[in-house]
């Protein structure tokens, strides 16, 4: 709610109307679900996690993925991801990659990826190649500094065998 008000204050237009004007289809539905869902920070009961995992595995429809992943907190999505693999011996990421396409798939992938891993990968891509994308790297580091930069650095080192500063 705070982000919506800040957006209107800055851009003189509603975030929801801007999203509706720029996107369509299943991608639009997922964005709107993410925007309007009320997600708490409290722990999700294990029974809810198991129920959501079963729904995702058995249904595998866009509507189901949009509802379950779009309305869940980050910690709930991570519990779903772990439980899905434990129960079905296939990763939720593999399921998303095989069942969906385009921007919708890309957003689902972001939703089922650990934040530290996601940002470590983004930092790696910003530093890979001939030159560093300084703007992207600075944006990531400054936006995550007081949030989870230490976790990002650990994941980066584990995954890429070098420090984020190298």
Are the C-beta atoms of 115 and 125 separated by less than 8 Å? no
Cα–Cα dist 72/111, whole Å: 9
CA distances, 158 to each of 23, 34, 121, 131 (Å):
36, 30, 12, 23
DSSP, residue by residue, 74-89: HHHHHHHHHHHHHHHS
Task: Tell which phi-psi region holds residue 61, choosing left (phi > 0), alpha (psi between -120 and 50) or beta.
Answer: beta
Q: What DSSP state is assigned to residue 40?
A: -
Q: Contact 74/40 with Cβ under 8 angstroms?
A: no
| pLDDT greater than 90 at residue 4 | no
- Under a CB-based contact definition with an 8 Å cutoff, are residues 35 and 3 in contact? no
Res 120: pLDDT: 95
Residue 139 pLDDT exceeds 80: yes
Residue-wise pLDDT for 112-137, tens only, equals: 999 999 999 999 999 988 888 999 99
The whole-model pTM stands at 0.84
- Residues 62-88: tens digit of each pLDDT: 999 999 999 999 999 999 999 999 999
Q: Region 79-98: what's the mean pLDDT?
A: 97
Torsion of CA 61, 66, 72, 77, to 10 degrees: 50
Q: How far apart are CA 80 and CA 92, in angstroms?
A: 8
Query: What is the C-alpha to C-alpha distance for residues 30 and 109, in angstroms, rounded to an integer?
Result: 12
Q: Report which of 65, 158, 61 is spatially closest to residue 117, judged by C-alpha positions.
A: 158
CB 126 within 8 A of CB 140: yes
Q: Concatenated DSSP letters for 98-127?
A: HH--HHHHHHHHHHTS-HHHHHHHHHHHHH
């Amino acid at each position: 709610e705070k982000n919506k008000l800040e957006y209107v204050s800055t851009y003189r237009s509603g975030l929801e109307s801007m999203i509706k004007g720029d996107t369509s289809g299943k991608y639009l539905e997922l964005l709107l679900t993410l925007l309007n869902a009320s997600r708490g920070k409290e722990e999700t009961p294990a029974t809810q996690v198991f129920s959501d995992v079963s729904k995702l595995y058995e249904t595998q429809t866009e509507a189901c993925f949009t509802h379950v992943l779009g309305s869940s907190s980050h910690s709930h999505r991570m519990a779903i991801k772990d439980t899905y693999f434990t129960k079905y011996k296939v990763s939720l990421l593999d399921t998303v990659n095989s069942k969906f396409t385009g921007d919708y798939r890309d957003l689902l992938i972001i939703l089922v990826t650990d934040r530290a891993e996601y940002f470590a990968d983004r930092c790696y891509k910003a530093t890979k190649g001939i030159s560093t994308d300084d703007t992207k790297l600075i944006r990531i580091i400054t936006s995550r500094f007081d949030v989870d930069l230490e976790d990002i650095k650990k994941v980066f080192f584990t995954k890429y065998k070098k420090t984020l500063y190298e």
